[in-house]
Homo-oligomer: A and B are copies of this chain.
């Protein structure tokens, strides 16, 4: 248990992950309402929108309006996602309101890379060099390196930990060639193949090879392993997680089968704080945000603590009765 970190850093991705998959269009004002509320919980990082083709992702057609609309809070980093140069240029147009950080991405599954990007690994590596050039031309530093499908792939099966270690090395090398220092490497359980055991194996292998490298886990809860996988990551000393309030992006309805979001932020906050790991987040305020998220999407979301409640009320009542 000695490896449990003292604190964790959470990248809240709910507003971006969650709203883009909804069948109904969410009014821009309600997206902004959730972002503004999230920014008051103690979260230090909120991903607010994707700058993607509105024909491909109609739910993100209002990304510019969302970014213009939220209330800026000092100490909170607001970010956006983009998938190509055009999206990056749109994000740059908001550089006063958004933190613009470069990101590199390799795939642990060649088969998935081909399906998703129509590229072979050499092409993907070349594309990372071009990305850095684009970032550097805009004066943007590369902050994150990311390995997709690091724990398994529908089209390639299990992934060898040693392969992930190699890819981490490649990412660090590509960045170094351009004088960039990656802040953290994200390992993505893109298709929800991970179990706590594979988390420990892969993270353990990467940590052994690169003991000083900060790691992040991007976990999906499609098969109910999200919180258990996060715990396994915490036990391996991982201190950064992507997560989504209320488990946005997922849904317990049969009609949304297979759509399961990131690990749920407030469930992760509950577990962390109860285990003595500081998150900086006010759980009750975050639970209110989770309920707001359900109200906005108009159907149940997968989070558990927003229904079960935290334990603070019991502890407060107990300490009041003991001191009286």
Contacts and interface: CB of A to CB of B under 8 A. Distances in A.
A223 B271 CA distance: 9
A27 interface: no
Interface string A284-297: 00000000001000
A254 B299 CA distance: 10
A196 interface: yes
A314 B154 contact: yes
A260 B224 contact: no
Contacts of A294: 254
Nearest to A258: B308
A38 to B, nearest CB: 19
A258 B309 CA distance: 8
A158 to B, nearest CB: 8
A1 interface: yes
Contacts of A225: 227, 267, 270-271, 304
A244 to B, nearest CB: 13
Name the residue among A157, A223, A303, A315 with the largest chain B CB count within 10 angstroms: A223
A253 B304 CA distance: 11
A214 to B, nearest CB: 22
A147 interface: no
Interface in A235-282: 252-254, 257-258, 260, 264, 267, 270-271, 274-276
A254 B290 CA distance: 12
B228 A271 contact: yes
A193 B311 contact: yes
A302 B267 CA distance: 15
Contacts of A87: none
Interface string A167-202: 000000000000000000000000011011110100
